[in-house]
Amino acid sequence: MRVVPVVVTLLLVLAGCSAQAPEPTPSLPAPPAAPKIVGYFTDWGVYGRNFQVEDVAADKLTHLLYAFGKVTGGKCTTSDAWADYQRPVAAGDSVDGVADSSGSALRGNFGQLRKLKAKHPGLKILWSFGGWTGSGGFTEAARNPAEFAESCAKLLKDPRWTGVFDGIDIDWEYPNACGLSCDSSGPDALTGLVADLRRELGPGALVTAAVPADTGKLGASDYADVAAQTDWLNAMTYDFFGTGNTPGPTAPHSPLTAYPGIPRETATTEAAIGKLLDLGIPAGKILLGIGFYGRGWTGVGTPDPGGKGTGAAPGSYEQGMEDYGVLARTCPPTGTVGGTAYAFCGGQWWSYDTPDTIKSKMAYARSKSLGGAFAWELSGDTDDARLLSAMAAGLS
């Protein structure tokens, strides 16, 4: 008889109909990348400022940018051979307490950077090229980006300091716009440089670029394409006001937001970051810039922003500019405006960020899901790194 097989078959069919197909396991979003805490170290800081590699609070950094290499004849070159790799470093200024000798394989800052990486294995170091006074050479480099990239890779991997640098930062001020000099290489010039750098250095190297915070200059180059070729962009969200020997009106050089009476509504960190996001640049590829210094006027008669002075206030190294570490002692804050601090003392009016205003800016960076923040530059901080500590705490 065939009854039993038919019944069994029917039961199996019914069971199959009533069983629920297993739910697919939902794919979890990738965890957000840890915020980048980046600081510029300048080669000239080892002279007058006596800020040595040993003074870097590397435990608070994820990346260190060494400024600056030069662009000469369309190629990457060293800027100061003595500071970079020739200068013998005394034991008291050395990362490991050991002095350089005549037989040291690598001396100067590069030798100290190698020791710093050994002490902090997670720290990544990039060599930054250009800067305000060194950007003129990029115009020639943009005519042959492949040759430029080849020269940079060769310099980066020089046997004397191989392994010190993990990549290259391009600080062109400004492509297809005016800085100290003007460039008319076209909107794709910077893209060409970083694209060839990426091809030459390979996917394992870091390639980054500094970008302006002036919303007009941000329209002069295709920064979305630049972002696609780089690991991140350093938005220079400072120096909005206070440059030059002008009588004012006094205004903070790095406001986070606009405020009543601001001389130019778009001259804020918020406007610059908003513009970068509007260009389609992923938030995680944008780093917010913090200046570790103040800009100020002298001959000012009113403590509030918007007053007039007689010119730039005296500074230790440059008129109208002073390190935060000095101002914190000599002219402490008397108020805040636009999310940053200002100070009025003895007829001088200064603006600068403090640990408190930096924490507020880091909260803003987190609210926008930015990739982190960077400092220009580390020697302006206090001896106990109060500003850098505020950056690190604010992003944690």
Active-site annotation, residues: 173
Q: Are strands 311-312 and 321-323 parallel, antiparallel or unpaired?
A: unpaired
- Distance in Å from the first CA to the final CA of the chain: 76
Provide the β-strand partners of residue 93. none
- 130 alpha carbon, distance to own chain's centre: 14
CA-CA-CA-CA torsion sign (324, 328, 334, 335)? positive
Find tokens 């640098």 and name the residue. 165
Neighbour-count burial of 190, counting CB atoms closer than 10 A to its CB (0-12 exposed, 13-18 middle, 19+ buried) = buried
How far, in Å, CA of 297 to CA of 320, rounded?
6
Q: Under a CB-based contact definition with an 8 Å cutoff, are residues 233 and 208 in contact?
A: yes
Helix, strand, or coil (residue 105): coil
Neighbour-count burial of 311, counting CB atoms closer than 10 A to its CB (0-12 exposed, 13-18 middle, 19+ buried) = middle
* b/e per residue 251-277 (b: at least 16 CB within 10 A): bbbbbbebbeebeeebbbbbbbbebbe
